[in-house]
């Protein structure tokens, strides 16, 4: 809560003593949610202009409006000149991020904030870090694709990385609830749009870079630059990088003092002086877990049974180990905390029932993600077939559709193409884009209705086979052209196996 007096001082204006009695509880960017004691931030977004809702918020009793630095000042002044409301223009130096952080008491400095960026693996790494810290009696909140809050009681989030206003608000809320750590999925779009501006990070990690979000960034170079921009915010000794990834190896070569992790890349990393290293000494896969022994710059972590599936989750686990080591958690404590790890909701989440095919639900929605998920399924299903159910999202990068289709056809025994979240696009048109990549393939079929596609894949599978349902993971909705309906791949899997779905 801040007074008008304090806000005026922050903005560089003189204030009167009576301004101390005028208090504001929150900053709000959604006019529909405004209350009389809120500061309304009139954002200039790609789809909406907050200035269009000035009359609505004034009618709700709002008495102070902050205006986006991108707004046209002349038009804004004309709009507000006869309104009974105070207003200030934010600037490059008194920015949205800086104001939000100040308003909520600089919450990112009151805990240890961990940022994880990369195309794939952010959600899993965030979950692993939070789970392991909480197992060691710390109190770690998560902010990301799965939602925000403490594990087991997450609130839904509209974006991978929340708007900087809401992010500061909820960081402050969880500080008040006793959080001493928070782990944040840092998306490239979030970086580009200023959603992490003026946050203080204790550790930052980079998982990988593969094709995604080109509908927004346009080029891979611009996409990579957004990831690099996040890492530049941190002291190099606080950075953890996957050097199995070519971009990661490039970043590591520029970051003396960083921690490098990898399954295959330690020969290359050894040529880089001044880097801490984390690597696998032993790795084997079992039905429901992998067993790994890890060599680090601080000693060995041996014979860990980690209840996750797939090689790429070994990489995610190494990342989490690197983050915890950077936080000065001992190897003994990391080993103890690893016992608490369980599969992440909708991330290589396995459902099984004796005598029936295994079903895996995963969020894979990029070409690399599809390949990694199918390879992971193969690691744990050596004696059976892999049947994949796959769709591509509408209103997103069309160029990756045939690439995802190729990956599924190559790495699965059979593939059924279906709807994902078509959004405003014709689902058949999306499928056509996918089919262009596999015109010569003989293991591909199409069932447009997702529920029917999943049921068909299950019917085709034998007891030793595995059905991988890719693309939607944890989501319990499907976005169609004119409506959003309830739909959960996890619920469909459980229904086919006769299991209850939590």
325 in a known ligand binding site: no
120 in a known ligand binding site: yes
Half-sphere exposure of 233 (CA within 13 A, CB side): 24
279 in a known ligand binding site: no
* Rounded Cα distance, 210 and 308, in Å: 22
Question: CA 333, 335, 336, 338: dihedral to nearest 10 degrees?
Answer: 120
265 in a known ligand binding site: no
* Rounded Cα distance, 489 and 484, in Å: 15
358 in a known ligand binding site: no
385 in a known ligand binding site: no
Residue 124 and residue 130 in contact, taking contact as beta carbons nearer than 8 Å: no
Reduce the DSSP state of residue 358 to 3 states and report it.
Answer: strand
475 in a known ligand binding site: yes
161 in a known ligand binding site: yes
Half-sphere exposure of 107 (CA within 13 A, CB side): 27
Please write down the HEC assignment for all residues of 156-178.
Answer: CCCCCCCCHHHHHHHHHHHHHCC
Token pair listed for 70? 């991108």
Query: What is the DSSP-derived secondary structure letter of residue 400?
Result: H
357 in a known ligand binding site: no
Half-sphere exposure of 152 (CA within 13 A, CB side): 6
123 in a known ligand binding site: yes
177 in a known ligand binding site: no
List, in sequence order, every beta strand (DSSP E) within 257-298. 259-262, 276-285, 290-296
* Rounded Cα distance, 258 and 301, in Å: 20
Bridge partners, residue 141, by sequence:
182
- DSSP-derived secondary structure for 24-60: E-EEE--GGG--TTEEEEE-B-SS-BGGGGHHHHHHT
Distant-in-sequence, close-in-space partners of 12: CB < 8 Å, separation ≥ 6: 94
422 in a known ligand binding site: yes
Query: What is the DSSP-derived secondary structure letter of residue 354?
Result: T
* Rounded Cα distance, 412 and 421, in Å: 22
124 in a known ligand binding site: yes
Residue (of 90, 28, 74) closest to 53 by Cα position = 28
119 in a known ligand binding site: yes
What is the H or E stretch that residue 427 is in? helix 427-435
396 in a known ligand binding site: yes
* Rounded Cα distance, 103 and 168, in Å: 9
In degrees, rounded to 5, the angle at the alpha carbon of residue 143 between the alpha carbons of residues 139 and 146 is 110
118 in a known ligand binding site: yes
* Rounded Cα distance, 276 and 278, in Å: 7
Q: Which residues are annotated as a binding site?
A: 31, 118-124, 159-161, 187, 193, 195, 396, 420-423, 471, 475
Q: Which residues are annotated as a binding site for meso-2,6-diaminopimelate?
A: 396, 420-423, 471, 475
Q: Which residues are annotated as a binding site for ATP?
A: 118-124
């Amino acid at each position: 809560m801040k007074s008008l007096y304090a806000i005026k001082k922050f903005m560089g204006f003189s204030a009167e003593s009576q301004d101390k009695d005028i208090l504001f509880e929150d900053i709000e960017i959604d006019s529909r949610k405004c209350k009389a004691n809120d500061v309304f931030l009139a954002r200039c977004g790609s789809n909406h202009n907050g200035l269009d809702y000035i009359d609505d918020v004034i009618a709700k009793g709002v008495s102070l409006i902050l205006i986006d630095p991108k707004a046209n000042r002349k038009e804004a002044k004309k709009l507000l000149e006869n309104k009974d409301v105070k207003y200030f223009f934010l600037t490059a130096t008194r920015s949205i991020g800086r104001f939000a952080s100040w308003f909520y008491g600089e919450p990112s400095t009151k805990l240890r904030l961990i940022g994880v960026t990369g195309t794939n693996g952010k959600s899993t790494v965030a979950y692993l870090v939070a789970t392991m810290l909480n197992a060691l009696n710390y109190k770690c909140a998560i902010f990301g694709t799965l939602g925000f809050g403490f594990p087991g009681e997450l609130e839904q989030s509209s974006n991978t990385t929340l708007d900087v206003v809401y992010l500061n608000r909820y960081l402050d809320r969880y500080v008040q609830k006793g959080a001493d750590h928070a782990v944040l999925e840092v998306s490239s779009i979030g970086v580009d749009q200023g959603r992490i501006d003026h946050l203080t990070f204790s550790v930052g990690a980079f998982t990988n870079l593969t094709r995604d979000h080109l509908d927004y960034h346009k080029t891979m170079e611009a996409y990579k630059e957004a990831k690099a921009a996040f890492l530049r915010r941190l002291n190099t000794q606080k950075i953890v990088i996957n050097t199995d990834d070519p971009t990661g190896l490039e970043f590591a070569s520029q970051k003396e003092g960083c921690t490098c992790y990898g399954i295959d890349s330690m020969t290359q990393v050894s040529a880089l002086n001044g880097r801490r290293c984390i690597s696998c000494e032993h790795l084997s896969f079992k039905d429901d877990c992998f067993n790994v022994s890890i060599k680090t710059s601080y000693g060995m972590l041996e014979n860990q049974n980690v209840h996750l599936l797939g090689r790429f989750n070994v990489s995610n686990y190494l990342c989490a180990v690197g983050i915890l080591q950077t936080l000065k958690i001992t190897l003994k404590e990391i080993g103890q905390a690893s016992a608490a790890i369980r599969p992440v909701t909708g991330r290589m989440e396995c459902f099984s029932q004796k005598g029936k095919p295994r079903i895996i639900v995963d969020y894979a929605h990029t070409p690399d993600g599809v390949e990694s998920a199918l390879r992971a399924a193969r690691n744990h299903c050596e004696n059976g077939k892999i049947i994949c159910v796959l769709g591509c999202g509408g209103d997103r990068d069309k160029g990756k559709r045939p690439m995802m289709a190729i990956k599924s056809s190559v790495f699965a025994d059979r593939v059924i193409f279906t709807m994902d979240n078509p959004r405003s696009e014709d689902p058949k048109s999306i499928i056509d884009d996918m089919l262009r990549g596999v015109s010569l393939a003989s293991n591909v079929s199409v069932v447009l209705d997702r529920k029917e596609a999943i049921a068909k894949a299950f019917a085709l599978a034998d007891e030793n086979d595995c059905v991988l349902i890719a693309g939607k993971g944890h989501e319990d909705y499907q976005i169609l052209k004119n409506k959003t309906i309830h739909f959960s791949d996890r619920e469909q899997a459980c229904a086919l196996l006769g299991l209850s779905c939590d």
